[in-house]
Structure 1
Amino acid sequence: MDVLNLAELLLSPDEKNELHSSMELLEQSDHSAFYEKNQSIIQSILFLETLEEFLDFSKENELDAECFCAAFLCAHGYGIQIGGYEDDLTHTLMEFFHTQGIEYPEISEIVHREKIYTDCSDYDNFKKSMTAINQVLDSHGMRLIVLEDYIYCDCEYTVLRVDKTLAENVLSTWSSENFEIYL
């Protein structure tokens, strides 16, 4: 299983159609139409602000399908993307948990216990905090999956909320060239 397979399991039928339509544009090298349809997602992945910048990028590079799919999932409310060098994720995580309906006091306590940060090293406390949060979520039948990639940035984390059973399936069958999975 990779990000594309995971998206197939999470997305609604309409969202799947939207994703497939976008992927077809990308495969057909219709970069202008792809950009028009996915401008905010492209900006979140590549930090490119204009069609011209994306067309310039596309002359020499292909947009990675798994990276696009991970960003697509986040843009549709299934997760959040977190950069590899974030100072304080308290507000970001609490907002995400609120939108996901995950408002348990134990989780709030974990998030507020200490400043959660990432620095793409063994010294960040992000993964440790996500592990503690997953221990709470396990008893509620859900889990966070954290994907890490190094394709366009030093590292980027994609955090997805999934059903506990699906998370176990994903963990046991994960096979991606681009994303390492944690939790």
Structure 2
Amino acid sequence: MKSVEIDRSKRLKDDLGKGHNRWHPDITPIIEVDLDEEVSLETRDASDGQMNPSVTVGDFDGFAGKVGHPLTGPVYIKGAEPGDLLEIEYVDIIPESYGWTRNRPGAGFLRDLFPESFVVHWEMKDGWATSNELPGVRIPNGSFMGTAGVAPSRAQMDTWRERRPTWSVVVESPSHPILKTRYRKA
């Protein structure tokens, strides 16, 4: 089985051959698979490795800002054409032994109910998540894939750009897997 393994001691920007942080047709696939072929992909957490069991709320200010969600891939599926409907089956999702939950003031669906920063560190063991920050709470393993998708075509990118006619995107390198952009008035 083909696989993509990542080095969890490195951030995505330091391990460029393993992922990207946006959907763009110019990002070169890192692995090719046939239709119906199984592939194993290791993934990064949403903080791109900034979170660990020793992180406190006081550490949040030192985090790299505007880190795009790190994605493993792209995966090129041989024979797939634009417009095809692809069915992806996740055969197994194996969580790491550590997970986290974080609240950022002003962000998320419950921002009005939780105005303070907090972090919960989870130990994943025997199918359960437990935390010293929430004593007595046990959550069954409900691991999910998170973010998965297909790169848009050039035509689709043009359609999206038409929705923001008064803004332009300044991109340092469109084919580079790590997006460094800023929006500005056109």
Smaller-chain TM-score range? under 0.3
**TM-score of the aligned structures, taking structure 1 as reference length:** 0.24
Higher helix share: 1
**TM-score of the aligned structures, taking structure 2 as reference length:** 0.23
Q: Which has the larger radius of gyration?
A: 2
